[in-house]
């Protein structure tokens, strides 16, 4: 690389260092800005603390009622879940009954028909065709009997589930009523709690505004720091490139000097002149010349 190339690279490094200084200044300003917003947010949080403490004391004074209310709500949720499970079971039984809607006869009616047909088979001489028809009818009736029994069991189960659903609904109503009573007692402190919450909310809103600005400043800071990382990597890359080029330039310079020394050494040898140490060393590093030289000595 020529001098102009080195100068261009050095100018680029100088430019990157200037940008880095400017970026560090921006980062410092962004840090100060973020800290300022954070302090203002924390100041408001400090103002909120007495109101929050007062609200906490009120809640502690009503702790038993709140505990009872929470337990009632938990119980209500559990009972609702249980009611839902019973409803699902109820609907499942209804679906199974719907599939048996074709069974119109009772168990007793079907059993009576089976007994009548069995009696005919056992007591009356019948043609084979009639016996076969009665046998097929019996098979159908036995299947219907199983289904009728299933239907009867399902109807009983459905009646039990209907009674359970009614009882559970009544239980839920009682729990809701008790919840209403406890909430009514707690509402006596409601106005004071409301005022405290309004004050806390107003302060929280201001704190949130400062916090939003803080987050915005932090995001800006993160972008600047990311930009700095990129800039530093570019600077290091250019510095390493400059170092590599300078090392390469130095290597070439030394190589050219070595070649000049070898050339001068060869001329001196041909003319019988004495070599300097550096010329001799340079010549010894030339493998081709070394082979020729050793070959002559051997001859």
Mean pLDDT of 94-99: 85
Structure-model confidence comparison of residues 200 and 292, the more confident one: 200
Average pLDDT, the chain: 84
pLDDT at 205 over 60: yes
The Cα 266–Cα 280 span in angstroms is: 9
Q: Residue 60 is encoded by which pair of tokens?
A: 């502690």
Report angle CA 169, 97, 91 to the nearest 5 degrees. Answer: 30
pLDDT at 299: 42
Q: Would you state the pLDDT for residue 2?
A: 54
Q: What is the per-residue pLDDT for 219?
A: 92
Check pLDDT > 90 for residue 116.
no
Asked whether 100 and 151 are in contact (CB, 8 A), the reply is yes
pLDDT of residue 47: 93
Give pLDDT, residue 250. Answer: 79
Give yes or no for a contact between 99 and 147, defined as CB atoms under 8 angstroms apart. Answer: no
What is the arithmetic mean of pLDDT over 118-126?
A: 83
* More confident of the two residues 252 and 177: 177
Mean pLDDT calculated for residue range 176-196: 86
pLDDT > 90? residue 170: yes
> Which residues are CB-neighbours of 79 under 8 A, at least 6 positions away?
168, 171, 172, 175
* Complete domains list, the chain, with CATH: 3-245 (1.10.287)
Say what angle helices 3-61 and 63-99 make with each other, to 10 degrees: 100
Q: What is the pLDDT of residue 35?
A: 92
In Å, how far from its chain's centre is CA 158?
45
Q: Find the mean pLDDT for residues 230-251.
A: 83
Percent of the chain with pLDDT over 70: 92
Lowest mean pLDDT among 106-120, 185-199, 237-251, 273-287: 273-287
**Which pLDDT belongs to residue 38?**
92
Residue of 169, 173, 178 lying closest to 83 (CA atoms): 169
* Residue 298 clears pLDDT 50, i.e. is over it: no
Q: Write the pLDDT tens digit of every residue in 47-71.
A: 999 999 998 888 788 888 888 889 9
Cα separation, 47 vs 204, in Å, equals 10
* DSSP at 189: G
Nearest CA to 23 out of 215, 213, 221, 216 is that of 221
Reported as type and span, the H/E element at residue 8 is helix 3-61
Q: Which residue has the higher pLDDT, 65 or 176?
A: 176
Does 295 have pLDDT greater than 60? no
Please give the pLDDT value at position 151: 85
Size of the chain in residues: 299
CB of 227 closer than 8 Å to CB of 36: no
Lowest mean pLDDT among 2-11, 17-26, 251-260, 284-293: 284-293
């Amino acid at each position: 690389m020529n001098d102009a190339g080195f100068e261009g690279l050095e100018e680029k490094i100088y430019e990157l260092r200037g940008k880095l200084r400017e970026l560090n200044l921006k980062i410092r300003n962004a840090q100060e800005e973020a800290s300022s917003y954070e302090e203002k947010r924390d100041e408001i949080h400090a103002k909120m603390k007495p109101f929050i403490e007062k609200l906490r004391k009120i809640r502690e004074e009503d702790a038993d009622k709140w505990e009872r209310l929470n337990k009632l709500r938990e119980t209500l949720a559990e009972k609702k879940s249980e009611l839902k499970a019973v409803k699902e079971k109820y609907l499942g039984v209804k679906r199974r009954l719907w599939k048996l809607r074709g069974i119109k006869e009772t168990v007793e009616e079907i059993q009576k028909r089976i007994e009548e047909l069995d009696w005919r088979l056992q007591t009356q001489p019948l043609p084979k065709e009639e016996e076969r028809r009665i046998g097929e009818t019996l098979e159908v009736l036995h299947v219907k009997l199983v289904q009728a029994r299933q239907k009867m069991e399902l109807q009983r189960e459905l009646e039990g589930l209907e009674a359970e659903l009614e009882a559970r609904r009544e239980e839920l109503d009682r729990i809701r009523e008790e919840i209403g009573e406890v909430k009514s007692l707690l509402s006596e402190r409601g106005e004071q709690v409301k005022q405290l919450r309004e004050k806390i909310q107003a302060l929280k809103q201001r704190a949130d505004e400062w916090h939003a600005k803080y987050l915005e400043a932090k995001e800006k800071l993160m972008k600047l720091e990311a930009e700095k990382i990129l800039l530093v990597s570019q600077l290091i890359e250019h510095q390493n490139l400059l170092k590599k080029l300078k090392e390469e330039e130095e290597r070439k310079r030394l190589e050219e000097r070595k070649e000049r020394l070898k050339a001068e050494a060869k001329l001196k040898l041909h003319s019988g002149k004495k070599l300097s140490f550096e010329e001799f060393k340079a010549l010894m590093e030339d493998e081709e010349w070394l082979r020729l030289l050793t070959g002559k000595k051997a001859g």
